[in-house]
Structure 1
């Protein structure tokens, strides 16, 4: 087969896959599913076949490649930290570290393959594919890290307001009941967008199964890498053991969190003026050199 024809076919497949990955959610909208009902009335094998069939075809093609590569090479799991997956809010049982690293390899090799296929048509594509393949290689882990940072920042922002709502209720009800009630109300009011409420609800669920409540809060803090929540859990546990009022602990942590947020905002504001001065210098200094210094220098040379 002609190499140019093969390159054209591979290019068409790559472009079609990219377009389907982008526009598939709009072209073929997923119908609302009642997964719990299906799982209860269908056998496990039939339910799994039904759910797999509803996934996009391009995902059904790419996902087995990464999963099989991860299964054949268990050493890939040591290349990616499971903690990064947990901090990103993904269950490691659903997405294993080996699968993440396999996805890195598959993405890099696919970009190199596309560049090699297009090289007979465009000579520069192979050279361009090398840095793009490196970007594709580091993209999965960097994306997980960015998800973890966003989740941590969101939890840190939501924690002071959550404590402000819990504190007055804790004086009349128990702490566990107050936290559970506030988490449920925030979860319902935000339509599930409040991340801290979702995490607290999982801690309350673990508490309902027999786990110590403060240990459940500490587990949530460790999973999201939020030190403030871990300090709150340890402070509440110590207050409960020593008989200290939990309302004072909540008020103290809320005050410290708001002071820390205020200091962070003041620190960010203090960097605005130097950045603005640098921008102005970058804009006006070249104009000053071109319009004033250079003509003055040239006129001086002409007089000499």
Structure 2
């Protein structure tokens, strides 16, 4: 009996470590061959997810966490590209709460285990959120890069005489990130609603300003029933201008972001290498006197 009591903390820690490792493995993105197969079939066969089912057991605790609208938008974007389709925002919140508790379970090992328990609890709480946000940011960067070319292609298709909605459906047949987003938008479009008008509101959760602006102008062109080359050419030009403006803004933010690291890791060490020999020579000369 004494042996079992002594092994209790070790068994709790072992179980917590196994569940944390299982959580990290389950949330990793699918391998490339699986993603390619999903793109060809255009099917989403949801396999049983043990981590999701385990996370839902912590659902009551997840209600204590504050609502995260940004997480909901990120998850929606990731799911539009066929990832984490079986998950809900409530499941992610439950997973965060569960991993937080599993990390804190290491406190059962004793007071010294706080240096292990707190980092593990923090990592478990942040990992689901950061994983989804990272996947969504990759998709946003890809969509941002493809927006100018997509606007030019749409202008070309409309100039050939295709209606705006038909041009959008034609572009959705491709394999680019823009085409995949269009397919998700088409699938979510209610019957009887013009596709361009639906996409103008639907695309807001993606949080790519140039893309939202392009779909808004497309909906205006489709609503007016005008799709001549001048208007579509203006659309392509505005998308390119928005792209360039965003690139310049990101470059300026990058300069401000790099100021502190450059000062800490480059300028100050360089200044030290220059001044230290001079200071050493000055001090030694004073001591010799």
- The TM-score bracket by the shorter chain reads 0.7 to 0.9
Query: Any conservation in 2 of the 1:239–1:249 contact (CA below 8 Å)?
Result: no
> What is the rounded CA distance, in whole Å, between the counterparts of 2:253 and 2:56 in structure 1?
43
Shift in Å, 1:67: 1.2
Residue correspondence of structure 1 range 267-286 to structure 2 within 5 A: 267=252, 278=263, 279-286=265-272
Distance 1:17 1:280 in 2: 42
Question: Which residue does 2:235 correspond to in 1?
Answer: 250
Cα deviation, residue 261, structure 1: 4.7
Deviation at 1:251, TM superposition (A): 2.3
TM-score using structure 1 length = 0.70
1:171 CA displacement = 0.5
Deviations 1:72-95 (A, max 9, x none): 46844x723255223332559943
- Kindly report which structure 2 residues correspond to 1:82-231, keeping only aligned pairs within 5 A, or say none: 82-88=69-75, 89-90=77-78, 94-113=86-105, 115-119=106-110, 124-174=112-162, 175-185=164-174, 187=175, 194-206=176-188, 209-231=191-213
CA shift in 2, pair 1:265/1:131, >3 Å: closer
- Taking structure 2 as the reference length, the TM-score comes to 0.73
Q: How big is the shift at 1:205?
A: 3.9
Residue in 2 that maps onto 1:8:
10
Whether the 8 Å CA contact 2:52–2:87 is kept in 1: the answer is: no
Shift in Å at residue 108 of structure 1? 0.9
Change (3 A) 1:247 1:158: same
Is this contact kept in 2: 1:236–1:249, CA < 8 A? no
* Deviation (angstroms), 1:109: 0.8
Q: Is the 8 A contact 1:218 1:230 kept in 2?
A: yes
1:293 to 271, 279, 282: 279
Aligned mate of 1:260, from 241, 245, 253: 245
Q: Aligned to 2:58, what secondary structure does the other structure show?
A: helix
Cα offset, 1:269, TM superposition: 7.6
Greater displacement, 219-228 / 259-268 = 259-268
The equivalent position to 1:68 in structure 2, one of 54, 57, 68, is 57
Q: Which of the pair has the greater relative contact order for Cα pairs under 8 Å at 6+ separation?
A: 2
RMSD across aligned positions (CA)? 3.9
Distance 1:22 1:106, change over 3 A: closer
Match of 1:80 in 2: 67
The answer on whether the counterparts of 1:103 and 1:140 sit within 8 Å (CA) in structure 2 is yes
**Structure 2: gaps (5+ residues):** none
196-205 vs 252-261, greater mean Cα deviation: 252-261
Question: Closer, same or farther in 2 for the Cα pair 1:213/1:116, shift >3 Å?
Answer: same
Q: Quick one: distance in 2 between partners of 1:13 and 1:269? A: 43
